[in-house]
């Protein structure tokens, strides 16, 4: 298996230590899986302490053997349980004292209470925002992983033009995507950071099923197969002349590509084609205005303006009370990274951000259509990382 290069980890740790120094923190204790992987190169169950001016210490609960194999950090040590954290730190010449950072946006309260009890002289401060801002800017290594994910997605998207058939269920298409993704190297997990947010690797939504909203913070949800996970593909059969929206994510070495395309057997009804055309214009306008220094909210407002000019403001990114108020988001180790292309998000675009931009329209009783592509912010604009052509994908039909 590929491992994260040591120079990549060194650069990440050095950037975090600069943040800790600015905030007057003595170190950061990283406990969340994604943070542990980002800074150590392994996702094994661990306590990762990164002091402000010393080498990090990775204290591994399970699996200790794999952590040593996967992480190139110099100090990787086993511990029998979390009660050994303090003594293990002391043996390494380290201690939790002063003010230490935690990723409090994802930390269970019970673990925080344990830390407060175990280290009564230590103060704890939330450092999650600084870490998320750091991860917002991608290295060349990270961009390369996202490109690889999008190559797998492109092959799968094109395969579906030959695979989909009238009368086939959404679940059959979903299963095909799963097979192709895994054969292409997909890690099998799509991670989200938001509280109570979870995502399947794909949404395959045909016709009216695409108008089913769900708890997911997305323009669409889908019926799913049960009320326990009410999103994604259902047993509904695909019909001619209805939209088949496929929103698909693949992860390579932790890094996610995120892309959507609309398919059709036959042709889309005019209102749906009009909406899809507007999705393309929104992406076209995004490419024209997006560059370093442009506020994220300006991108969102431009998208809303295009939708309203087309008479589709009420259908943009959902319908009625189920509309979401964004048109894109950062992408990386998690599918809901910052920045967010949303009203009120004043963060300016910066070089080496990677954004998933997803203008979609939900038309009651007809379905959902739209596009989603990933873009890299460059020094003077954006580069589209996604490969698949930006149009309604026509299903190839056998001779009738």
Q: Please report the DSSP string for 9-63 in residue order.
A: HHHHHHHHHHHHHHTT-SEEEE-SHHHHHHHHS--SEEEEEEESSS--EEEEEE-
Give the contacts of 120 (CB within 8 A, at least 6 positions apart): none
Looking at 135, 167, 193, the residue that finishes a domain is 135
C-alpha pair distances (Å), 80 with each of 62, 121, 177, 187, 362:
9, 24, 41, 29, 52
Looking at 108, 135, 162, the residue that finishes a domain is 135
pLDDT at 124 over 90: yes
Give domain status of residue 330, yes or no.
yes
CA distance 86 to 90: 6
Alpha-helix runs per DSSP H in the chain: 6-22, 33-40, 64-70, 85-91, 109-118, 128-136, 140-163, 170-183, 270-289, 296-309
Examine the domain organization and report whether 159 and 100 are in the same domain. Answer: no
Query: What percentage of residues in the chain have a pLDDT greater than 70?
Result: 100
Give domain status of residue 217, yes or no.
yes
Give domain status of residue 120, yes or no.
yes
Examine the domain organization and report whether 31 and 142 are in the same domain. Answer: no
Give domain status of residue 1, yes or no.
no
C-alpha pair distances (Å), 226 with each of 223, 287, 393:
8, 39, 29
DSSP state of 152: H
Helix or strand holding residue 355 (H, E): strand 354-357
Mean pLDDT of the chain: 97
Sign of CA dihedral 320, 321, 325, 328: negative
Q: How many CB atoms lie under 10 A from the CB of residue 232? A: 25
Q: How many CB atoms lie under 10 A from the CB of residue 121? A: 8
Examine the domain organization and report whether 16 and 120 are in the same domain. Answer: yes
Give domain status of residue 400, yes or no.
no
Give domain status of residue 336, yes or no.
yes
Looking at 105, 135, 165, the residue that finishes a domain is 135
Cα-to-chain-centroid distance, residue 385: 15
Mean pLDDT, residues 50-54 taken together: 96
Contact 386, 154 (CB under 8 A): yes
- Number of domains the chain contains: 2
Token digits of residue 345: 């998000």
Examine the domain organization and report whether 159 and 36 are in the same domain. Answer: no
Nearest to 182, CA basis, from 261, 262, 259, 248: 248
Examine the domain organization and report whether 130 and 141 are in the same domain. Answer: no
| Coil vs helix vs strand at 147 | helix
Question: pLDDT at position 276, please?
Answer: 98
Examine the domain organization and report whether 270 and 382 are in the same domain. Answer: yes
Mean pLDDT, residues 92-115 taken together: 96
Examine the domain organization and report whether 51 and 146 are in the same domain. Answer: no
Mean pLDDT, residues 89-103 taken together: 96
Question: pLDDT at position 398, please?
Answer: 83
Give domain status of residue 399, yes or no.
no
Examine the domain organization and report whether 274 and 305 are in the same domain. Answer: yes
pLDDT at 125 over 80: yes
Contact 228, 181 (CB under 8 A): no
For 43-52, 193-202, 274-283, which range has the lowest pLDDT when averaged over its residues?
193-202
- For residue 288, cis peptide bond before it (omega within 30 degrees of 0): no
CA distance 396 to 217: 33
Question: pLDDT at position 268, please?
Answer: 98
CA distance 105 to 63: 25
CA distance 87 to 80: 11
- CATH number, domain with residue 304: 3.90.230.10
- CATH number, domain with residue 106: 3.40.350.10
Examine the domain organization and report whether 13 and 149 are in the same domain. Answer: no
| Coil vs helix vs strand at 228 | coil
Mean pLDDT, residues 84-105 taken together: 96
Examine the domain organization and report whether 111 and 150 are in the same domain. Answer: no
Contacts of 318-327 with C-beta under 8 Å, sequence gap 24+, read 318/213, 318/219, 318/220, 318/362, 319/211, 319/213, 319/362, 319/363, 319/364, 322/213, 322/362, 323/219, 324/217, 324/218, 324/219, 325/300, 326/300, 327/282, 327/299, 327/300, 327/303, 327/357, 327/358, 327/359
pLDDT at 400 over 70: no
Nearest to 31, CA basis, from 93, 108, 96: 108
Confidence band of 236 (pLDDT split at 50, 70, 90): very high
Look up the domain containing 56 and give its range: 6-135
Give domain status of residue 242, yes or no.
yes
User: Does pTM top 0.75 for this prediction?
Assistant: yes
Question: pLDDT at position 199, please?
Answer: 87
pLDDT at 310 over 90: yes
CA 251, 253, 259 angle in degrees (round to 5)? 25
pLDDT digits (tens, 9 = 90+) for 210-225: 999 999 999 999 999 9
Examine the domain organization and report whether 311 and 296 are in the same domain. Answer: yes
Query: What percentage of residues in the chain have a pLDDT greater than 90?
Result: 98
pLDDT at 229 over 80: yes
pLDDT at 309 over 80: yes
Examine the domain organization and report whether 114 and 176 are in the same domain. Answer: no
pLDDT at 2 over 90: yes
């Amino acid at each position: 298996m590929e491992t994260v290069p040591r120079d990549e980890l060194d650069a990440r740790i050095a950037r975090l230590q600069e943040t800790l120094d600015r905030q007057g923190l003595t170190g950061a204790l990283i406990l969340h899986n994604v943070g542990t992987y980002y800074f150590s190169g392994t996702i094994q169950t661990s306590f990762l302490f990164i002091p402000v001016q010393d080498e990090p210490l990775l204290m591994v609960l399970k699996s200790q053997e794999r952590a040593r194999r996967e992480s190139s950090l110099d100090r990787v040590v086993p511990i029998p349980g979390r009660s050994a954290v303090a003594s293990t730190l002391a043996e390494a010449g380290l201690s939790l004292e002063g003010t230490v950072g935690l990723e409090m946006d994802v930390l269970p309260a019970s673990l925080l209470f344990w830390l407060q009890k175990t280290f009564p002289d230590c103060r704890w401060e939330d450092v999650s925002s600084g870490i998320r801002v750091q991860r917002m800017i991608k290295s060349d290594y990270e961009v390369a992983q996202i490109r690889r994910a999008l190559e797998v997605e492109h092959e799968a998207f094109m395969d579906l033009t030959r695979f989909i058939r009238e009368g086939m269920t959404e679940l059959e298409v979903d299963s095909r995507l799963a097979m192709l993704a895994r054969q292409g190297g997909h890690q099998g997990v799509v991670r989200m950071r938001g509280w109570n947010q979870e995502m399947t690797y794909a949404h395959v939504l045909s016709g009216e099923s695409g108008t089913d909203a769900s708890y997911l913070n997305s323009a669409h949800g889908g019926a799913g197969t049960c009320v326990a996970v009410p999103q994604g593909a259902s047993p509904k059969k695909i019909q001619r002349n209805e939209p088949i929206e496929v929103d698909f994510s693949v992860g390579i070495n932790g890094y996610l590509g995120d892309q959507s395309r609309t398919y059709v057997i036959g042709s889309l009804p005019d209102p749906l084609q009009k909406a899809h055309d507007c999705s393309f214009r929104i992406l076209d306008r995004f490419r024209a205005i997006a560059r370093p220094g442009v506020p994220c909210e300006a991108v969102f407002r431009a998208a809303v303006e295009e939708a309203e000019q087309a008479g589709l403001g009420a259908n943009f990114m959902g319908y009625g009370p189920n509309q979401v108020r964004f048109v894109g988001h950062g992408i990386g180790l998690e599918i809901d990274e910052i920045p967010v292309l949303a009203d009120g998000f004043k963060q300016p675009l910066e070089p080496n951000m990677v954004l998933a931009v997803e203008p979609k329209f939900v038309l009651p009783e007809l379905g959902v259509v739209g596009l989603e592509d990933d873009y890299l912010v460059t020094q003077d604009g954006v580069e589209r990382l996604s490969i698949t052509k930006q149009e309604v994908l026509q299903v190839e039909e056998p001779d009738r």
